[in-house]
Amino acid sequence: MEKLSDPYTIRYPQIVAVADESAGQVELIEFFDCTGGAMWVKRHYAQSPLVRSVRTVGSTNRYLLSAGSADLALEGSVFPAGIAGVAVEEGEIAVTYRGLGGGGVGASICRATAHGVVRCESDPAGGGRLAGSTIWLPRLERVIVGIDDTDTPEEGATWTLAHNIARAVEDDRSRYLSHTIVQLYPVPYRTKNCVAIACEFATSDPDGLVRNYRDYLEEYTLSEETGMAVWRGFDPSPLEEFGCRVKRGEVSADDLAALGDPRFSIVMDGRGAIGAVAAIPFFTRYEEALALWNGNG
């Protein structure tokens, strides 16, 4: 029987954080390996005063946090663990966790060695004691890449190419977070299914990320009408009205040109740019993204 090296620790594979422009909001993205533990954490951490919302996306829990500190009225079984502090500095984000018993193990050593953690201060944990930790993460920027129209009636698939390029451009400065297929209104000139893709990243090198993604896309696209659009910022909701219009009906290039937000840009301006922009605000909103709106919805 193989000996367990550390039987009472489960390490988080990766933790990433992005902050809004005002430094007042943080999205903490915790990749997990133990689903049961992650669901327990999601249930109890949601009670923390600094947690505005929490949702599970794939193998991650995403916490929308307010910056600040809070006293946690921890109580076994009722509120055994939570987030007690969020501090946004120029280049780093610090998150403080507290927990009782097994919740203290998760709040301390389990997060200390996650990929993405710059440094950590952690209490001894285990048994019935109160324990916690503060971890420091790089302050990263959210970048969402939208693409559309990379295939032909004979070959190719935009959703696969988007994912494979996202994997190829991922490095220590740019972490690939999510891939969303967005169903658009079936215009007559579609290849077949009329979907666009949004790939989300957290990055400290947005210019390099966008450049690398574009280079791969230019190399491997099969279409002369490929569109690539980029959103740089915490919340792409300013593009939501446009995205909804593209899901409901045909939209012109003039409609796209009328958009004027400095946080988004068109990187490849083929006809697919309309769908590329439309996909961006639906990132990780899978039910809405995949719904076919026939013009009446």
Residue range(s) occupied by CATH 3.30.70.2200 in the chain: 141-290
Measured CA to CA, the distance from residue 64 to residue 225 in angstroms comes to 37
Measured CA to CA, the distance from residue 256 to residue 259 in angstroms comes to 6
Measured CA to CA, the distance from residue 131 to residue 122 in angstroms comes to 8
Pick from 185, 152, 207: nearest CA to 251: 185
Both tokens assigned to 152 = 């032909």
pTM exceeds cut of 0.85 = yes
Measured CA to CA, the distance from residue 98 to residue 81 in angstroms comes to 6
Architecture of domain 141-290: 2-Layer Sandwich (3.30)
Q: 92 CB contacts (<8 Å, ≥6 apart)?
A: 118, 136, 137, 138, 139
Q: Per residue of the chain (297 residues), what is the pLDDT tens digit? A: 999 988 888 899 999 999 999 999 999 999 999 999 999 999 999 999 999 999 999 999 999 999 999 999 999 899 999 999 999 998 999 999 998 877 777 777 888 889 999 999 987 766 667 888 899 999 999 999 999 999 876 777 899 999 999 999 999 999 999 999 999 998 765 555 689 999 999 999 999 999 999 999 999 999 999 999 999 999 999 999 999 999 998 888 899 999 988 999 999 999 999 999 999 999 999 999 999 987 544
Contact 77, 100 (CB under 8 A): no
